[in-house]
Amino acid sequence: MIIPLDAAAPDYQHLMSHALTQLAQRRDFWSRSLYPRLAVSASDEFRFQKESKAPSGLIAWRHGERLVESARRTFLAGAKYYIGPGRHFVNRHGRFATRYLDQILMGQTAVGSYVITALAPSDASIELKQAFDGAARLPDVGVARVRSVNEAVVHAVGATVEALDHYRSSGSLAGFEQGVIGGVSYEMTNAILGITSNADEALIAVEWDQGQARPEGVESEFFFNAEDVAPLAQAAAKLAEDESSTHFSVTGRVHLLAKKTAGSPGVFGIDSLQSQGPRKVRVRLADDEDYHEAVRAHEEDLAILVAGRLEKEGNLSWLYDATVVRTLGSLDEFPTSRRSAPQEGIPGQLDMF
């Protein structure tokens, strides 16, 4: 479509009339593609695309929910990396990442496949004053440009893709460990895992706002397929490990979730499906983002893999600073012998979790 800008040009009236006729005949094109871009300030456009067995333009409801959640986690992970690299951020830099997310608008899915679009205004800014890095605190005065954080998101995605490429050629997860300095993290790996799961193919792409210089040294498209799910899941589990303490992983059924205070990460119980280890575990999450995944596993009767620091308190086994590594398949796919075994605990004690 050609939009004439010079009203004094000889063919201005003809070109403008033709453009208006095109818009009148293609109202869907105007409402979906043109008007949203004109209604917001200059923005970098991110696309999260998932190709599945559903007809074009459609997606299974729960898979669509997870795609939206995973796109959200991608932005949060990239924003945390902007403040500083980390293999497992947990709640670090969470406030800054949330303020970044608040700047982003979500668009409609594109025709032809299921695509989530996100517009991140490149000229906007985010306050740094509430961002923390462990014991070190960033300056009270200062802002980050949204364009700079957008670049950090893409760098972190690219670093994770490079680690995947290294795995494809070597079969080793070392690329994920070595790529932490470049943006690989548990959070980003888990976000991309959510985008790739239950998809034949998946894509993360960015179209940079042309009003600013295009960033150098970054790719614009990243492709994934079903074969990437296994290494991403293994890498997420590896990056979630706390090497300074005894680490324990458990696969089981979620039950009786609870949040003592608003905004807290939450606690839930797990009935273990493993032949080894404690039969029941109380899980205290490190990151409130993982609580949503635990709720989903509970609602859909899915097994879940959780990792953390195992401690025994009396007759109770607790998993502290825990992370939801991955939601697995239906509980019906797992052996029932352990689930039907007698429950451990003190006679007469109420099972609160």
**CATH superfamily of this structure's domain 246-333:** Nucleic acid-binding proteins (2.40.50.140)
Place of tokens 């303020």: 99
**Hey, is 318 helix, strand or coil?**
strand
State pLDDT tens for residues 297-324: 888 888 888 888 888 777 788 888 888 8
- Predicted pLDDT at 133: 45
Q: Each residue of 257-284: pLDDT tens digit?
A: 887 666 667 788 888 888 777 888 888 8
Phi-psi region of 26 (alpha: psi -120 to 50; beta: other; left: phi over 0): beta
Position 351 scores a pLDDT of: 52
Which residues, given as ranges, of the chain have pLDDT below 50?
131-141, 337, 339-346, 349-350, 352-353
Cα gap 163→272, rounded to integer Å: 32
User: For the chain, what are the domain ranges?
Assistant: 40-239, 246-333
Residue 29: predicted pLDDT:
67
